[in-house]
Amino acid sequence: MESQYISSMLALLFAAFLSLSSATSPQENFLRCLSFSSNLSSPIARVVYTPNNASYSSILESRVRNLRFWTPNTPKPLVIVTPLVTSHIQATIRCSRKHGLQLRIRSGGHDYEGLSYVSQVPFVVIDLINFRSVDVDVENRVAWVQSGAILGELYYKIAEKSKSLAFPGGICHTVGIGGFLTGGGYGLLFRKYGLGADNVIDAQLIDVNGRILDRQSMGEDVFWAIRGGGGGSFGILLSWKVKLVPIPPTVTIFAVRRTLEQNAIKLIHKWQYIAPRMPHEMYFDVSLNQVNSTQDGKKTVVSYFIAFFLGGIDELVPLMHERFPELGITKKDCIETSWIESIIYLGRIRNQPLEILLDRDFQTPLTPPSFKSKSDYVKEPIPEIGLEGLWTRFSEKEAESGVIYFFSYGGKMDEIPESSTPFPHRAGNLYKIIYNVGWQPQENINSDKYISWIRRTYSYMTPYVSKFPREAYINYRDLDIGTNSEGNITSYARASVWGRKYFRNNFDRLVLAKTMIDPENFFRHEQSIPPLCKKHGH
Ligand SMILES: Cc1cc2nc3c(=O)[nH]c(=O)nc-3n(C[C@H](O)[C@H](O)[C@H](O)COP(=O)(O)OP(=O)(O)OC[C@H]3O[C@@H](n4cnc5c(N)ncnc54)[C@H](O)[C@@H]3O)c2cc1C
Ligand SMILES: *[C@@H]1O[C@H](CO)[C@@H](O)[C@H](O)[C@H]1NC(C)=O
Ligand SMILES: *[C@@H]1O[C@H](CO)[C@@H](O)[C@H](O)[C@H]1NC(C)=O
Ligand SMILES: *[C@@H]1O[C@H](CO)[C@@H](O)[C@H](O)[C@H]1NC(C)=O
Ligand SMILES: *[C@@H]1O[C@H](CO)[C@@H](O)[C@H](O)[C@H]1NC(C)=O
């Protein structure tokens, strides 16, 4: 009798509690759900931040890498979770699902459109700052690296153990592993060894049901999709097993400036024919930006030719004389260094100790604080007259901190089949373009004029770049090319517009992989891969 009484009292209390909770906000329900799933040995409350916590703002801002999305009007997350153990991630997924909150996943926070920390609907951010271990195995030439590590941490830990191994990642060392590898990821070594994602051999994924899957248990379709199909679509990538690649002790770099008077346009024109055919050992880009003329202070445009070569000066200088004598590269233009030092040198952080690579708060001088970017692929050389038009655009006022880079393709990129990973821009591409325009955060209110400049420039380039589709690089995310947002068109039809630009025909296989791993479309954002048939009308 006694126990029956107690249990009915409990039921009553529980009902009262339920009615209480249904009257509260999704945020409170979510927090309560988290506290229920707390693990005594690792309580989740220590890693849960709401706007009431003093450090909420600093945690949020610390990985906002584009201050275009750090304004009073930018939507902020209801809650930020910085998990310490996988059970925290599983609880965050479970409770966000249960209470209808969208989840945004953040590793390094470099998403060009801020999708890892901004959403137009109520949302929670899971920030993987505490998932950043790097475990280098020199003997087997592999490493396990967690998604919240930055490229610099991986480079540093490799260099600590070996001077003859490296990982093919980007120059900017603060980029997060999670976003870099889910989007492909290129850098100084990509013409020799392919993309970062081409060198992934296993991974750990937490799916929508909280299962921890590896390559074998997720299956080859999903394993294919996470290596270049874009972040935030398939689940939360916890860690990656990557191949390390051999590098010589000495590498050579040059960075030379050429003005209009020094025939910059003719040189860039020629570069288009030469750079993609250079040996695999070479990385070669050219950029344009506006400067004040040293003579009269008027605006003018200069170009920089930057190369990185796996070998010494004695090999590089004759190669340049043979293939590209017009550029006039001499020994004096070149410096010999090591692979790891070249990251510091080309990242424009010279004279700093290697430990700078571990500094995730470092503000790279490579990108202005607030910016907008777009990308293109080029399959036929652009005629000189086309390049001249770019010059005109770069002389405009809004281009003050604009920069355009041409990154030479070819080499190993030509040898990897288009369907080998979701990243489709392989043989047939001479180079990739990135357009970038920046401004100071206090100019955020005037961002429209800069953004309209970059859109005009992009539109000007239409005749010269890839068509049907006009291709783009997922890791240079650009919401101008389309989003999944509602309307009366299904999100699949909308998604295939931007999807084919990023993935060409690989888009269809990505949709199949998404349908397998997340059929109800829990992991989603403006440019996430849609499942084939939605069971629920999110
Ligand atoms: C200054 C700068 C330099 C760059 N240089 C290069 C370069 O040299 N080469 C290159 O290829 N790219 C470069 N990029 C682009 C960069 O690769 C992408 O922006 C990349 O997505 C950033 O990864 P992140 O983890 O820092 O970003 P985040 O903003 O944290 O994430 C990017 C996207 O991936 C999702 N995501 C993040 N982590 C996970 C995870 N663990 N699981 C599932 N989804 C996840 C996010 O939700 C978001 O949609 C650069 C960007 C910047 C700003
Ligand atoms: C609780 O956390 C510990 C690590 O702190 C982990 O090993 C354990 O699996 C977790 N337990 C549950 C039930 O999630
Ligand atoms: C945030 O505040 C709540 C409520 O006071 C507290 O329980 C939680 O531990 C705080 N979070 C952190 C990370 O300190
Ligand atoms: C060019 O000059 C203008 C004003 O004369 C100045 O504001 C700007 O910072 C200069 N730009 C560079 C790149 O030096
Ligand atoms: C919805 O469809 C109708 C008819 O097909 C069209 O006229 C209308 O513009 C569409 N609305 C939106 C928001 O796309």
| Domain extents in the chain | 2-130, 134-246, 251-337+367-476
CA distance 408 to 306: 11
User: Which ligand gives the minimal distance to the CA of 487?
Assistant: 5
Cβ-based neighbours of 206, under 8 Å, separated by 6 or more: 86, 89, 90, 93, 212, 213, 235, 236, 238
Taking CA atoms, 476 is separated from 186, 290, 480, 502, in Å, by 11, 22, 12, 10
What's the mean pLDDT when you consider all of the chain? 93
């777009």: which residue's tokens?
Answer: 374
Pocket lining: 292 vs ligand 4, CB cutoff 6 Å: yes
Taking CA atoms, 51 is separated from 9, 30, 76, in Å, by 36, 14, 9
CA distance 322 to 60: 52
Nearest CA to ligand 5 atom 13: 487
**Residue 291 DSSP SS3:** strand
| Annotated catalytic residue 476 | yes
Give 48 Cα–ligand 4 centroid separation in angstroms: 44
> Which one of 488, 490, 497 would you pick to mutate in the ligand 5 pocket, going by the greatest count of ligand atoms within 8 A of its CB?
488
pTM: 0.93
Question: In the structure, which protein residues have their CB atom closer than 6 angstroms to any atom of ligand 5?
Answer: 487-489
Buried/exposed code over 227-251 (b: 16+ C-beta within 10 A; e: otherwise): bbbbbbbbbbbbbbbbbbbebeebb
Around Cβ 490, how many Cβ atoms within 10 Å? Answer: 14
User: Which ligand gives the minimal distance to the CA of 298?
Assistant: 4
| pLDDT tens digits along 458-498 | 999 999 999 999 999 999 999 999 999 865 567 888 999 99
Pocket lining: 368 vs ligand 1, CB cutoff 6 Å: no
Pocket lining: 293 vs ligand 4, CB cutoff 6 Å: no
pLDDT score of 492: 86
Q: Which atom of ligand 1 is nearest to the CA of 174?
A: 26
CA distance 505 to 10: 57
Give 292 Cα–ligand 4 centroid separation in angstroms: 6
**Average of pLDDT values for 185-199?**
98
Nearest CA to ligand 5 atom 8: 488
Pocket lining: 42 vs ligand 2, CB cutoff 6 Å: yes
Phi then psi for residue 143, to 5 deg, are -145, 150
CA distance 525 to 94: 18
**What are the residues facing 378 on neighbouring strands?**
431
| pLDDT tens digits along 383-397 | 999 999 998 998 898
Are the CB atoms for 435 and 353 separated by under 8 Å? no
Give 301 Cα–ligand 4 centroid separation in angstroms: 13
**Average of pLDDT values for 123-136?**
98
Are the CB atoms for 52 and 15 separated by under 8 Å? no
Pocket lining: 7 vs ligand 4, CB cutoff 6 Å: no
> Which one of 48, 79, 127, 130 would you pick to mutate in the ligand 3 pocket, going by the greatest count of ligand atoms within 8 A of its CB?
48
| Residue 303 predicted with pLDDT over 70 | yes
User: Which amino acid type is present at position 90?
Assistant: Q
| pLDDT tens digits along 142-156 | 999 999 999 999 999
Phi then psi for residue 29, to 5 deg, are -60, -40
Nearest CA to ligand 5 atom 1: 488
* CATH topology for the 2-130 domain: 3.30.43
CA distance 191 to 56: 42
**Average of pLDDT values for 419-434?**
98
Give 488 Cα–ligand 5 centroid separation in angstroms: 6
Q: Which atom of ligand 1 is nearest to the CA of 205?
A: 42
CA distance 502 to 197: 15
Are the CB atoms for 78 and 126 separated by under 8 Å? no
Give 489 Cα–ligand 5 centroid separation in angstroms: 8
| Residue 12 predicted with pLDDT over 50 | no
Catalytic, out of 273, 476, 492, 502: 476
CA distance 381 to 373: 22
Pocket lining: 493 vs ligand 4, CB cutoff 6 Å: no
Pocket lining: 41 vs ligand 2, CB cutoff 6 Å: yes
Give 27 Cα–ligand 3 centroid separation in angstroms: 14
Name which of 474, 473, 432, 476 is nearest 275 in CA terms.
Answer: 432
Q: Options 3.40.50.2300, 3.40.50.300, 3.30.465.10, 3.40.50.2020; which CATH number does 134-246 get?
A: 3.30.465.10
* 222 backbone φψ class: left, alpha, beta (φ>0; ψ -120 to 50): alpha
504-509 long-range contacts (CB < 8 A, ≥24 apart) are 504/418, 504/424, 504/469, 504/471, 505/418, 505/419, 505/424, 506/229, 506/418, 506/419, 506/421, 506/422, 506/423, 506/424, 509/221, 509/224, 509/225, 509/419, 509/422
Angle, helices 339-346 vs 151-161, to 10°: value is 150
Give the H or E element holding residue 126. strand 123-127
Nearest CA to ligand 5 atom 6: 488
| pLDDT tens digits along 213-223 | 999 999 999 99
Name which of 538, 440, 526 is nearest 233 in CA terms.
Answer: 526
Pocket lining: 479 vs ligand 2, CB cutoff 6 Å: no
Could you list the beta-strand ranges (E) of 174-317. Answer: 200-206, 212-213, 236-243, 245-246, 251-259, 282-292, 299-309
Pocket lining: 83 vs ligand 1, CB cutoff 6 Å: no
Nearest CA to ligand 3 atom 7: 45
User: Which ligand gives the minimal distance to the CA of 50?
Assistant: 3
pLDDT score of 290: 87
Nearest CA to ligand 1 atom 18: 475
User: Which ligand gives the minimal distance to the CA of 38?
Assistant: 2
CA distance 86 to 103: 16
Give 40 Cα–ligand 5 centroid separation in angstroms: 53
| Residue 10 predicted with pLDDT over 70 | no
Tokens of 115: 């999708």
CA distance 226 to 215: 10
pLDDT score of 220: 98
Q: Is 74 exposed, middle or buried (0-12, 13-18, 19+ CB in 10 A)?
A: middle
pLDDT score of 222: 98
| Residue 192 predicted with pLDDT over 80 | yes
Around Cβ 173, how many Cβ atoms within 10 Å? Answer: 25
Phi then psi for residue 66, to 5 deg, are -135, 105
Angle, helices 491-503 vs 506-517, to 10°: value is 130
pLDDT score of 296: 81
CA distance 246 to 404: 31
User: Which ligand gives the minimal distance to the CA of 58?
Assistant: 3
pLDDT score of 489: 65
Name which of 234, 233, 196, 229 is nearest 218 in CA terms.
Answer: 234
CATH 3.40.50.150 for domain 251-337+367-476, yes or no, is no
| Residue 523 predicted with pLDDT over 80 | yes
Taking CA atoms, 220 is separated from 207, 216, 225, 264, 524, in Å, by 15, 7, 8, 47, 22
Name which of 414, 238, 249 is nearest 342 in CA terms.
Answer: 249
Give 123 Cα–ligand 3 centroid separation in angstroms: 18
CA distance 231 to 126: 13
**Residue 38 DSSP SS3:** coil
Q: Which atom of ligand 3 is nearest to the CA of 82?
A: 13
